[in-house]
Structures are given as C-alpha cells and as structure tokens.
Chain A
Amino acid sequence: MNQEDFFNIFRTGRNRMEQAVAAGLSEGGDWCDLYFEYTVYNDLLLKDGEVNDGGYNEDFGVGIRVLDGDRTGYAYSESTELKDMLAAAKAASSIACRTASGCKASVIQAGTVGRHRESCSGMNGVSTARDSLYATGKTWDNVQHAMFLPFLKRIDSSVRSKDGSIVRVMVHFADYQSYVMMFNSLGELVVDSRPMCSITVTAVFSRNGKTENSTASWSHRCGAEMLSPELAERLACDVVKGIDARFEARRPKGGEMPVVMGAGASGILLHEAMGHAFEADFNRKGQSIFSDRIGRRICRQGISIVDDGTIPGNRGAVNHDDEGVPGQKTYMVEDGILTSYLHDRISASFYGVSPTGNGRRESFRFNPIPRMRATYMEAGDACPEDIIGSVRHGIFVDEFSNGQVKIGEGDFTFYVKSGYLIENGRLTAPVKDINVIGNGPEALSRITAVGNDLKIDDGTWTCGKEQNVPVSVGIPTVLVSSLVVGGE
C-alpha cells in the first residue's frame, strides 16, 4: 500500500494534516503529531464443539498530541473531517496555553526542548515500511473467516483426542488489521499496516472429582497463511502438556530457595520485574528503582537484557513505533551494565538521547508512552541440565502468570502456573499455585547462571501499563540463587 491508499482510508491529505498541526501549535507548543488509525477486529469462539459465537469491531479515528516541553495535550476525534480534526487539535493545544496562564516553569532547561525531536523516520519525510517485519499475503479484513471454522474444529477434536478426562474445550480465534498513518510537525509522514492473529485454547479436565484447567496460546503479526494443521496440532499438544503433573502437583514447603526459570514464558518475570523499571517515564519522574543508575553495573558480567521491536512476525514487532520512530533493538543491560532506558520522544528529549522506538499506544484514543516490545535476556553459555543439576533444593518454574511489580520499591510477585521441585539436582514432584516474591535489582544481582537455550515465547502476552499493547517475552534457562517461594 502506498501513501495515497492511506489518504483514501482516512479521507484526508497532506494539506489538511498540515492545517491540523498548525492548529495544534497555535498556542505555542513545540511539537504536534497526528495518529490516524483504522482497525478491524474479528473474533470467533468455539465452545462445546461448535463455532457458534463471533463478531467484529471496527474503530476509526485520529489522535492529536501537542507537546510543550515535556507536557502533553491530547485529544482525539472519531471523524477525520477537517473541522473535527481542527477542534481536537485546538483542545490538545491548550497544554501550551496552560503554561502561558501561569503554571510553574518546566523542569527542562530552555533550549533543550525539541533538540532531539529531529527526524526519526529515516525516510526523509515520507516513510512506508522498509522491509516489513510483518508482510502478509492478504490482510485480515480481506479474508473470508468461514475458512477458519475447520481449523478451530480441528484444534477442538485434536485436544479431545489426547485426553479422556477433558470436559470442556474452548478455542478463541482473534485477528485484526490495523492501518496507521502518522504525521508530525516536522512534516514526516509514516504509514503502516499491522496484522495480528491470536489463538487461545482452554481445556477443563475432570478426574475423580477434581477439576483442573489449562491454557495454551499463540500470537503473531502474520497473515492467514500461518494457520496450518501443524499449528493446530501444536496448540492441542501444548494445552494437554503437563496436565497429569498438574493433577499430582502440590504446594511445596515455602521459604527462601534457589529458583530455576525455564526458557521461554518465564521471561514474563524479566518484563515485569526489570523491564518496567527501565521504561524512561518512570525514571524521568525519579520513581523507578533504576533511576540514576545508567552506566552502573546492576548484574553479573555476561548478562545482557534486550527490548527488541525487530523480530519478524513477533507479537511485539513494530516497523515504526506509534510516534513514527523506526522499530529497533535496544540493549537495556549490556554485559551487566545498565546502558539505556526505553524512550519515547518526551523522555528522549529529557535525557538528551535519541528515541528508542518504544513510544507505543493502545489506539488513537491514547497518547504514546514508553512501552516494551519483545523483552528478553540473551543466551549465556550454561547447559540447562547443568543449571538444574547444580541445585540441591529449589524449584524449577515452567511458567509464571499474573506478575506484578512495584516500580519504586522494585518488589515483585509472580504466580507459578506450573513447575517442579528440584531435589539433589533432579526435577521431582510437580508444584503449582504458588508464588515467588522478590526484589528486581536483588534478583538480577542473584542470577548466577544463564543457559544457552534462549526461547522467545509466542503466547498472547499483553502489557497493561495504563493501556494495553501486545508484547512478547523470552529468556534462556536462568538460575536465581535465592528467592522467596510461598508454599505450605
């Protein structure tokens, strides 16, 4: 798709966008950007063996942001007619007006504002996706969804064939196609067409009066060509995997002990406990436990933590972020040293660095803020079996869910969805429904081994910091020498 296609979708053109930007800056702000979005969401739900529920939703509008130093004025319109855009721009412009009417001076020194708000599109004014990270055959709004019914039924029958104790199977299929056009007061124009497909399979099992449930999910920025019989089979296998252990699983005796985090999904701990504290808005406000630690060692040599928006097809991939900055790979921790926060344009300006492509938003209804993309720890050189073998008494965690962190204190808690006791270097009894609790910087400093088996999980991870955005997580097998484990 080219620029004209996007002008047609949004029924606008460069001249009208320039007028809206001018209205946004009419009160004296130093930056204005427009974010046009048209998204079509589809979903299908299989329950009780039938795909008997579904629908779609379409959302259309333009968000207009005005920055005055590091202050934000934001408004949006569900119409892209010029008069409606001008009204929204005028509303957003009031942030500059507020300063003029007597608010205290900005903490940013005069002269630095806008210094780093230089061209970021890399395309000299107009940017379409270069080599798109999520090229698709047909966009999701142009496929016949009837073709997916056999796929969902295939998953259902495959799941049921694998375990006789299954009493319910639910398959939720969701996709969207989002057309995005961004224009800013530097005259930069960026367009992007973003696909997403997510499948979540839930099964409920009943054995001898006991009930257990299990969920498997898969999500990629891709087209329908990725939906294969192999994928259906993989999801079916994933949802029944480990169910015997879950029925047997017990809560272990709690206490402080070594915790081995399995490769892949347990990377959510990295996202919650460390990643959020690296987001520059928390640091700009001095609220993060990592504030003022740039350039300092925060964990052992050899450990690198990355936030990457450039993995093709990944749920967190972005050709451009939602401020028009190209997607990129950002090292937050390199060889144990804190090297960068995750920046949007505001925080980049504040810190005097270039934006890192982390300015993201849920939709045109929200202003962008620093958000993660695909966050992972790079692989080390330890063999996973050796890591487990080095632990005399501890737990191995397959998968966490529902983590939470207090950004200021760094304290985190994670629910262990599934795992095993480690006794004398071997995985023994399955454990479940427990929590691990700790402190982000402390936990980082207690990582004593990093496996050579980095795995990026492809589940339907969604980060909910103020707004929901798709992300992904990853980690190799990692040993944390000591964390508190809640148990009996």
Chain B
Amino acid sequence: MDNVMEFSGITNEEISAARHCLEYALSSGASKARVSVSKNVQDSIQLLNGEVDKVSRNADRVLSINLFADGRYGTYSTNRFSGKEVEVFISKAIERTKMLTPDKFRDLPSPDRYALGAVTGMELGLYDRTYEGISAEDRIAAALSGSIYGNAGPQAGYGIISEECEYSDSVDDCYMADSQGFEGRHTETSFSFWSEMTIYDSKGDRYTGYWWTSSPHRNRIDIGICSPTALEKAIAQTGASRHDGGRFTMVVDSRCSSRLAAPLLNALNGSAIQQKNSFLEGSLGQKIFPDELTIKDLALSRGMTGARLFDSEGVATADTDIIRQGRVEMYFANTYYAARLGIRPTVDGPSRPVVRPFIKDGLAKDLEYGENGINLQTILESARDGILVTGFNGGNYNRATGYFSYGVEGFAFRDGKITCPVKEMLITGDMLTLWKSVIAAGSDACEGSRWQIPALAFGNVDFAG
C-alpha cells in the first residue's frame, strides 16, 4: 500500500488551479467568489477477533466554490478539476447561480475580519510529521497491538462473542482563497483506535462495550487501553435492569455528555435563531444559566483537536466566551446570518468548546479538589445519590421548544458509590430547565474530542423506567 497515493499535501499545481478558478469565475460573470481545495488520505486496519478483517485506503480531493453573481449566491463542488473540466464546471455553476433569486444579505466577510497567519497550515501544531514515516506494516502492528481476543484472562460469568477494533490514521489539508485576497491553509493529522467487545453472560444475554482513543498526535493515543476498557464496560452492564422512575440527580459521563451539550450549542447557531427554530432565541446578552456555568471556545489551543485559525469563510477565530457566568455572550453568526439578524458577525460555529470545571456550592462541602481536578468520582461523591448515565440509546429534542426525551443506560449510585447497572430508562424535560439545573462539570473531557465536554451533573431530572 505504501507505493499508492502517498500524501504530499495540496500541491502548488492545485493551488494554482484554485486561483485560476477564482480568476475564471470573476471573468465569467461572478462578482465575488471563494474557492477551497481539500485533500484527505485515510488508512485503516480493522480486526475481527484478533485477525485482520479489512484493510482500506481512502484518498479524496475536492474543489468547492461559493459564487456571488448578480446579487445571487450558490455553492458548488467537484472532484474533477483538472484542465478544462473545471472551466466547464464553473461556467455551469455561474449559470445556475443566476437562476436563483437575489439575496442582498449574501456577501464575503469584511476583509478586516480575515485570519492572517494561516500560511503553511501547520501553525497550530496539528500536523504530526511522524505520519509520513508510517508503513503499512506499522499500521497492521498498531492494530494488532490493541487486540486482547484470546488473551483476555479468566472469564468468570461471561464469554466473549467478538472483538472488533480498528486503527486508523489520516491527514487533511485544506487551502482556501477568495476574491478579496484572503488565503489560508489548515493541515492536520489524526490517529485513532476503537474497540467494541461483545460478550454473553450466564443467561446467554449479550452486552456490548465500546472505547476509543484519538489525537492529532500519534504518541498521544493509548491503543492498549481500548479493548480492556471496552470489555470492562460490557461486563459492568451484565444483569442490568430498569430502575424505578422518579426525579434524581443525573451525572453524565464525559464519554457521552456532548449529547446534552450539542442541543445547547446548536441553539446558538445563527441559522437556527434566524429561522426561529431555537429555544435560545432572544437569549443573547441574557443571564439565563447558573453563575457557575462558563463555556469558552478555545479555538487557538495549539496541538489540540478542533483548533483552527479560520472558519469556513476565512474569518479569524479567537479564544472567546460562549457563555460566561451564566450569561449568553455570543451567537454563532456568519456574515449572512449576522446581516439577516442585524447583529455583529462572529464565526460559523464553535471550534473547541470547553466547559469550565465546577461543583456548585453546597454540594461539595467536605470535598477538596484542586483547580481542574474534578473527576467523575468527585462528582459522584458530591452528588451522593442518583443515576450515572454512561450511554444514550435513542431519543431526540425539539429545536424550537427544547423539549427532550432520551433513552439512557448506566448505573445507580448511592453515597457516591456505584450500586447496580440500569438500562431501558428514559429521561425527559426541556433543555433550558436542564441546563439551569447544572450542578457540576468535571475536568475530564476526552483529550481527542473536538468538543471538550466533561462529566456533568444535573439536579432533579425526570427518569422513567
């Protein structure tokens, strides 16, 4: 596999092709345009029960163009952009754009908002140069090193049905330019490993456990921990049953807490606000959450997943407050939606949202913890009794009202200690009330996640079982 499609990044020829697209678009009737070229290469090795089951190599490149013509706007992409093909593509795109209705709010960003320092794509330290030296054999070895099938130790009370795991690495390279002179580049590598263990218990019931690790840097993934942890997760669920319904403190593990953070952050999206499809419409500048809740967007975290110097319009990102001490500080409004809403434009969405760790006063009197030292156990002990959610199974929320209902599984806990596994439980409520009742946030977000959402605790959540 090594002699095939080695990643060389976006070439000078491809950058020239992108610039030619801009020039051609402007000479063919577009008033403004933005073009981007993205390349991605991903290799993966999948194992089934300790044996190589699938080997794959994906290599993509795509050219995308946003066209502004006669007050109209359209977006187009193709993976064929050699020679004359791209000119035919752009001519057709301009023709299509002119078919649409004019929209006076469509425009490129003000040039003073552009990112200036994204020249090589590697400024944020997200590219691991060791990627270039990885051979096919290295990948196989990495995958096999994570398997414990056949070597999982004594199996008291359960048997292993299957172990599936996958090692993968990838590199993404993106170059963007527009007709106002913006040029930017972003390059990053990614390394990941996941494992899923399926077991049966003494009654023949099946249980599955899952664990993963990922990072932009090869030496920061812990492959060896995945299968044992996945197995541990599966074993811990054996004998799970429904728990009586009622109102309980809910602690949500950091591996699944983003499921509850996503509705909150999505509700701050300019598109949802403008289309009146957000339960946080009208919340900008309002203090609606507890004083302790602060969520920042740390877009410039060097070497960390999610960091970026510019958004999809080329606008410079920054480390900013999304919610500060309970007050909504920003909507994610790009140039278009900001103009529509009549507000100051920001960026197109969160880059690397981070929740500040805290335990609300009154619940942690006897606990001592240092800054950033709040782990799951600390939260369980401060909450004392309740249900720890370790996984979601289905459910949804209403974007307009915030009402939600989710299937959950996890463990009941008493006096800060896990007592029994629970399954087939439902939580219901509305997102606004839920987040108003947040009582703790840990400092244990998964390193490889773009959204740094830690373990969370909420008071008085409705459970049905």
Contacts and interface: CB of A to CB of B under 8 A. Distances in A.
A18 to B, nearest CB: 20
A194 interface: no
Contacts of A52: 72-73, 100-103, 106
B96 A145 contact: yes
A76 interface: yes
A488 B428 contact: yes
A28 interface: no
Interface in A79-133: 87-88, 90-92, 94-95, 98-99, 103-104, 106-107
B97 to A, nearest CB: 8
A486 B56 contact: no
Interface in B325-372: none
A434 B405 contact: yes
Given A88-B4, A211-B276, A213-B400, A53 B79 contact: no
Interface stretch (B44-52, B115-123, B289-297): B44-52
What's the interface size class on B, roughly? 35 or more
B428 A204 contact: no
A204 B424 contact: no
A283 to B, nearest CB: 11
A367 to B, nearest CB: 7
B403 interface: yes
A76 B80 contact: no
Given A72-B53, A437-B407, A484-B464, A411 B275 contact: no
Most chain A C-beta atoms within 10 Å of own C-beta, residue among B5, B56, B164, B428: B56
B4 A87 contact: yes
B405 A486 contact: yes
A47 B73 CA distance: 13
Contacts of A73: 54-56
Most chain A C-beta atoms within 10 Å of own C-beta, residue among B140, B403, B424: B424
Contacts of B80: 58, 60, 78
A415 B405 contact: yes
A210 B79 CA distance: 45
Most chain B C-beta atoms within 10 Å of own C-beta, residue among A77, A365, A486: A486
B428 A486 contact: yes
Given A412-B394, A435-B426, A211 B401 contact: yes
B36 to A, nearest CB: 13
A59 interface: yes
A425 interface: no
A408 B459 CA distance: 32
B60 A365 contact: yes
Most chain A C-beta atoms within 10 Å of own C-beta, residue among B75, B101, B281, B403: B101
Contact of A53 (B77, B103, B206, B399): B103
A435 B275 CA distance: 26
A328 B452 CA distance: 46
A107 B5 CA distance: 32
Nearest to B206: A408
A274 interface: no
Interface residues of A, number: 86
A287 interface: yes
Nearest to B50: A104
Contact of B52 (A58, A98, A406, A416): A98
Nearest to B160: A286
Nearest to A52: B103
B394 A403 contact: yes
B43 to A, nearest CB: 9
Contact of A213 (B75, B398, B406): B398
Nearest to A288: B206
A409 B393 CA distance: 12
A51 interface: yes
Contact of A413 (B49, B60, B78, B393): B393
Interface in B186-227: 198, 205-208
A272 B59 CA distance: 32
Contacts of A88: 4-5, 57
Contacts of B106: 52
Interface string A399-418: 00111111111111111100
Given A90-B1, A211-B279, A416-B405, 19 more contacts: A50-B101, A51-B100, A54-B75, A55-B77, A74-B57, A78-B59, A95-B55, A149-B99, A213-B400, A254-B464, A285-B164, A415-B396, A433-B398, A433-B401, A435-B394, A484-B242, A486-B428, A486-B464, A487-B464
Nearest 10 pairs between A and B by C-beta?
Answer: A413-B407, A413-B394, A486-B426, A404-B394, A408-B206, A415-B396, A402-B396, A52-B103, A254-B464, A55-B75
10 contacts: A53-B74, A70-B53, A95-B52, A254-B464, A285-B162, A411-B423, A433-B404, A433-B428, A435-B428, A439-B424
Interface of A: 44, 47, 50-61, 70-78, 87-88, 90-92, 94-95, 98-99, 103-104, 106-107, 145-146, 149, 167-168, 170, 202, 204, 206, 210-213, 251, 254-255, 285-287, 289, 365, 367, 401-416, 432-435, 437-439, 484-488
